[in-house]
Amino acid sequence: MVDGILNINKPAGMTSFRVVALVRRLSGERRVGHAGTLDPDATGVLPVCLGQATRIVEFLMDTTKTYRADIELGIATDTGDASGQTIQKGDFSGISREALESALAFFCGSIRQTPPMYSAVKYRGRPLYQLARAGITVERKSRLAKIHNLELVEWQLPIVTIEVVCGRGTYIRTLADDLGQMLGCGAYLKSLVRLRYGPFDIKDAVSISQVEEAFQSSSWPCLLYPVDSAVLHWPAIVVDAQAEHNIRHGRPVTFTRDAGGEAAGNRCRAYTLDGCFLGVLRFNGGKSEWEPEKVFF
């Protein structure tokens, strides 16, 4: 059994599910999952978790992501990206760089987005994209999204290239469509690359062919990042044998707040005396105790 995280550079034309299925087949590990779906046409960083690392996915999904997006002005599609049918055309010739940057500034910070019909969000138990493919449109509730930084990288009309640093649940397709509506000409997401996902960077990501070669040569464990790679931004503590025993049995432990740290939502990483990652602890302010949230054996 091997536990860890693969930093895979997903190619265009391949679903995130297919990447997971490939890793599951090659590794023989039943517990395989990914953090953060990429659309089939999108490329870039897709963390794939194996074994006990699948239990850390929820924490990884709370980290920030960085995207580079090419947006074409003057055309809007029913999917918001290049796979859809054109539903609007507009004149973009009079849009200046200043007007574009002013519009982009509007989307920085906390914004509300309506999930696109072609998304995995569920409506009465069914993914929206299934309804959309059947020609059914339903009302969707807007959701809060956080855009930490939005930068105009290139500007050569009708194509504009932006880099976006955002939190979970942000739809870049919706951002492109909303930008087009604000500018009055329509727009769609022409291409998308995820440059970074939490601690995982595209410069270090491996291709599908590299993954397959590594499995064939049995060197693939060398590609795995440790389970705790996803939570290295949290404070860390080293516990003694008694505290380790308590944590392994799900019992809370008591430290000073300085020992555990009060950053990152009152969570910290716990390690044994020999340096093994023990688990994630969460501070209970009412009892002044650190409670085991995830324990790794």
Torsion angles phi and psi, residue 257, rounded to 5: -65, -30
Q: Name the nearest CA neighbour of 160 among 103, 79, 78, 86.
A: 103
Whole-angstrom Cα distance, residue 160 to residue 11? 22
Catalytic residue among 3, 39, 70, 178: 39
The per-type count for the chain, helices as H runs and strands as E runs, is 8, 17
- In total, the chain counts a number of residues equal to 297
**From CA 79, how far away is CA 175, in angstroms rounded?**
12
Q: Is 240 a catalytic residue?
A: no
CB-based contact 66:196 (threshold 8 Å)? yes
- Least Cα distance to 162 among 135, 130, 195 occurs for 195
Catalytic positions, written as ranges: 39
